[in-house]
Amino acid sequence: MLLQFKTLVQPGLVHAVTTRQGGVSAPPQATLNMSFSRPDDPAAVRENRRRVYAALEIDPARVVQAGQIHGADVLVVEQRYAGRGALDRPSVLPPADALITREPNLFLLAAFADCTPLLLFDPVQRAVGVAHAGWQGTVKGIGAATVQAMQRAFGSQPRNLVAVVGPAAGPCCYNVWPHVAEQIRAAFRAQPDLLRTRDGQTFFDLWAANTATLVACGVPRDQIEVSGICTIHHAERFFSHRASGGETGRFAAVIGMRE
């Protein structure tokens, strides 16, 4: 049900990326669908979320989710937002593809199905962030926007941040259209190797692109953990939009700090 990362196993820090196992949703959302935006029974999604919250020992009333639109907006989450989007869709916060906070007992949640979860922690300022980075968010620099927002809001120094690049479409499987490849080349002119041609198709390395973005912001490379799990290749373990032809659920990334 839960995947965790050694980089983020730190005192008082709660984090996880969910898998697709351990829930109650029916196919094609089977079984641990974490998204109310899918054509799933809302009661099933609520039960799935309650199971995850219980496993993490966090109160649903302290979980926060925003809408996601493949952008690069970052929202600073305050105590008054507690519970927004935790157990229903109508109460989600306005669209923001990254959430950051340094409030204790607030837990940030974002949903994924091939896009890249970015999890960040500042052990000095005791601040956290989660970002949703598909190819569009990656090209728009959502990782950099998140780091910069943590700098502005909390005084976080990039050199102190630790980060995880979570399970996502991998370079083994993630082929992109020519117009997408052009946008990637324009955004990452210094990293042409992020795109590789194979069998007449162009494949994009989301993991390396987001890692490069974080490093360019000043996050030390040895403080970034890359999961290396391709959600397309492992669609039996994670929801994958690409592998399912769009008919699937969403897994979640959660991060926050206990008081």
pLDDT of 3-40, one tens digit each? 999 999 999 999 999 999 999 999 999 999 999 999 99
C-alpha to C-alpha distance for 139 and 115, rounded to whole angstroms: 12
Per-residue model confidence as pLDDT tens digits over 130-174: 999 999 999 999 999 999 999 999 999 999 999 999 999 999 999
Measured over the CA atoms of residue 138, residue 141, residue 143 and residue 146, the dihedral's sign is negative
Taking residue 95's Cβ as centre, other Cβ atoms within 10 Å add up to 13
Residue 259 has pLDDT above 90, yes or no: no
**Residue 131: what pLDDT?**
98
For residue 108, which of 58, 48, 60, 64 has the smallest C-alpha distance? 64
pLDDT 10s digits, 94-113: 999 999 999 999 999 999 99
Q: Three-class SS of residue 2? A: strand
| Helix (H/G/I), strand (E/B), else coil: 194 | helix
Segment holding 181, helix H or strand E: helix 178-187
CB 249 within 8 A of CB 25: yes
pTM tops 0.85? yes
142-167 burial code (b ≥16 CB/10 A, e <16): bbbbbbebbbebbebebebbbbbbbb
Segments in 39-120 forming alpha helices (H): 42-56
Three-state secondary-structure class, residue 72 = coil
- pLDDT given at position 5: 98
The two three-digit tokens of residue 231, written as one number? 């959600």
Report the pLDDT averaged over residues 73-85: 98
- Domains contained in the chain, CATH given: 2-169+220-257 (3.60.140.10)
- Nearest-CA neighbor of 30 among 173, 39, 178? 39
Q: Is the pLDDT of residue 252 over 90?
A: yes
Q: What is the pLDDT of residues 32-72, one digit of tens each?
A: 999 999 999 999 999 999 999 999 999 999 999 999 999 99
- Average the pLDDT over 215-223 and give the result: 98
The per-residue pLDDT for 111 is 98
| Structure tokens, 107 | 């837990």
For residue 4, how many other CB atoms are within 10 A of its CB? Answer: 13
How much is the average pLDDT of 195-214?
A: 97
Indicate whether 213 pLDDT > 90: yes
